[in-house]
Structure 1
């Protein structure tokens, strides 16, 4: 097992879960983070935080800085957490001997992150996916004319740039000659309940799958979420996908569940999502450090979890918008905060300060917290392109 673990992000609660999990195993945890202050910096689980360039602004400098941290700190396990994974995965072939990277190859990560290529891959595997086309194609025009659709960037994160349109209502700019045509997809809009999954997978073997739904949303991102049991259709999907691809790493999907219980995968996130909060942190860390092991990854007793401050903002806003104020205030009162731990008490009360790089742009520039948390991590390099669809 690893002695020093490098987490390549520290600003999000899911990073905190990983830090606490590895610390519980007796591992030394180092965090590399573009922000000078971040959530994990206040945690007792973190031995050292190192500031590095933001990958979306200086990808070569970011990778070089990670290499320096790995060498200086004696790191032997690197664990990417969120969107920075797209950059970190490129280090696989350059890491020193004896240093493990918990990530699929970069080509796999980019394929799953690309909304068009993911849909094409799922269909090729014989698994259910909505009809999806490049926005600059004749097939996209035909799809949008006959059915409600979702318009989204091929390379989006945190639900940014997603819009919903009725049949025949898609803006002309999404098609050839329009400003949106270069990197957008048009996807068939499915009706039903939106569910999400988070899994740990090793060489095609699923160690655990956590299925959950958003209870309180900030835009399209859940800030209060509930774990669900007996989701056999989703668990079968994850098992089949993992076995057919031999996947290893974090694996997360968004699904739409129809009235008959069938599910359709609408997006894939090859990274950590909020489903990790329902798992015992030390078990997750053990499964990462020993991917061939058989120790169980247990669920925590809590079924309803929240990110307190974003949830509070949504509850306060509901007093003025009148959008489900009762539900949001009930969730705020009853859900367990994902950061609170009496053995690591400074994280929760210092969140307003340590999260100021996210909060300040959100408050003064009118951006969502999801956007400010990921804009310096989002993929900016060229995506591998598939064969274009006929225009």
Structure 2
């Protein structure tokens, strides 16, 4: 039996992966700084291990993961979300024969870098917004000529992102937190998630936000945009990517997709695939089988959407539409054959809820604060 280690358990996409690997006949383990999590509550997870968060020390985090791999006889390590940038550094620390489903750290960090990704895409002739380092003359010219977006080189969940009107002064550059200035592209935002092997796209899921919490979608609608599929396929082929890789796009009025950033990891797009097909695609390097899409075109994270519905009621705007969406949309985590993760979600999510309340921060921001990669 293949033993699979997932390196995060708190997010719904980890639950999908756990269920899929178990259905494919694997023994599923979860490593997680919180200890007890959404995925760990599933009957499909054999055991969950508490590890120190990478924010408390990268070396200790990697050592804890490597020890679990050795002690439990892990065959495959699958990073789930923002911790991917850390987990990539396990390369070279694992016993012979253990597979790591992501690229080497140098390539992963290069695409997590907002400016590095733009340079890579431009070199391929792919559409991305004109960009320049904050503090440069080029950035000042961009800001003078039209609206711009200012974002840290390393960030997640929209943290630190600011949209400025034309002529609005740029913030002062901070050498300790370098940022990039991008031309603002007008259009509809779309996101993707792709499973790839050695430059070959196995499946790409394209979706857009249906309900937003800040800049993070908590309900999603699957759509078909062939131009995005083609953009992704070319990028993946050019860099020979293996693993999960995801992008955010703005599709302009002419139907041209502009990639505004890359996430070299899985995103919520995994929810639109049949979970066992994801597992089979990851387990078999030569997989050519189709990754089936679920019949639900719109999915939600129920408790996050409940919070947004309550907020709409307090604002006195959009409450009825939000309530209708809440009661008619399928939750990403609910499964009658594995109900406990959904039913225990308040408990397993309590560390995130408590931090959100005490710090006055968005749920998505605190959910990844201890596992994100924020510096080179």
For this structure pair, what is the TM-score category when the shorter chain's length is used for normalisation? over 0.9
Is structure 2 residue 190 aligned with structure 1 residue 191? no
1:270-285 equivalences under 5 Å are 270-285=264-279
Q: 1:181 to 1:30 in 2, by over 3 A?
A: closer
Q: Distance in 1 between matches of 2:169 and 2:97?
A: 52
TM-score (norm 1): 0.94
Question: In structure 2, how many angstroms separate the alpha carbons of the residues matched to 1:211 and 1:59?
Answer: 33
On the 8 A contact 1:135/1:181 being kept in 2, the answer is no
Paired residue secondary structure (1:174): coil
| Residue of structure 2 in register with 1:47 after alignment | 46
1:347 aligns with 2:345: no
Alignment of 1:174 onto 2:172: yes
Q: How does 1:155-170 map to 2 (within 5 A)?
A: 155-170=154-169
The corresponding residue for 1:248 is: 242
Q: 1:109 to 1:136 in 2, by over 3 A?
A: same
1:15-66: CA deviation from partner (whole Å, max 9, x where unpaired)? 0000000000110000000002211121001000000010122110000000
**Residues 174, 184 of structure 1: 8 Å contact kept:** no
Aligned partners of 1:132, 1:323: CA distance in 2, in Å? 36
Matched, 1:207 2:202: yes
Spell out, residue by residue over 1:189-238, the C-alpha distance to the aligned partner (whole angstroms, 9 max, x if none): 00000001111010111011111000100000000010012x11000001
TM-aligned CA distance change 1:293 to 1:73, over 3 Å: same
SS of aligned partner of 2:77: strand
SS at match of 2:342: coil
| Contact 2:152-2:177 at 8 Å conserved across structures | no
Q: How does 1:239-388 map to 2 (within 5 A)?
A: 239-380=233-374, 382-383=375-376
Structure 2 counterpart SS, 1:133: strand
* CA distance in 2 between partners of 1:259 and 1:76 (Å): 47
The RMSD of aligned alpha carbons is 1.2
What displacement does 1:3 show? 0.6
From the superposition, tell whether residues 317 and 180 of structure 1 become closer, same or farther in structure 2 (CA, over 3 Å).
farther
Structure 1 distance, partners of 2:89, 2:175, is 28
- Equivalent position of 2:126 in the other structure: 127
Per-residue deviation, 1:330? 2.0
- The CA distance in 1 between the partners of 2:317 and 2:152, in whole Å, is 27
Question: Which shifted more, 192-201 or 321-330?
Answer: 321-330
Asked if structure 2 preserves the Cα contact closer than 8 Å seen for 1:174 and 1:181, the reply is no
Deviations 1:260-289 (A, max 9, x none): 111100011011101000000000000001
Normalising by structure 2, we get a TM-score of: 0.98
Q: Distance in 1 between matches of 2:341 and 2:192?
A: 26
**Distance between the aligned counterparts of 1:183 and 1:323, measured in 2?**
38
Distance 2:207 2:285 in 1: 24
Question: Does 2:212 match 1:217?
Answer: yes
- 3-state SS in 2 of match to 1:347: helix
**Structure 2 residues not aligned, in runs of 5+:** none
Secondary structure of the residue aligned to 1:29 is strand
The within-5 A match list for 1:53-64 is 53-64=52-63
Runs of 5+ consecutive residues of structure 1 not aligned to the other structure: 384-391
C-alpha distance in 2 between matches for 1:164 and 1:255: 16
- What is the aligned counterpart of 1:226 among 217, 221, 226? 221
**What's the secondary structure of 1:252's corresponding residue?**
strand
Q: Which SS does the other structure have where 1:44 is aligned?
A: coil
**What is the CA-CA distance between 1:258 and the residue it aligns to?**
0.9
Rounded Cα–Cα distance in structure 2 between residues aligned with 1:243 and 1:36:
38
Deviation track 1:314-369 (CA, whole Å, cap 9, x = no partner) reads: 01101122443333222211211001001101111100001101111112321111
Contact 1:136 1:181 in 2 (8 A): no
Rounded to whole Å, the distance in 2 between the matches of 1:200 and 1:59 is 27
Provide the aligned length of Structure 1 versus Structure 2. Answer: 376
CA distance in 2, matches of 1:323, 1:264: 32
The farther-off stretch of 192-201 and 318-327 is: 318-327
Paired position in structure 2 for 1:386: none
Residue equivalent to 2:94: 95
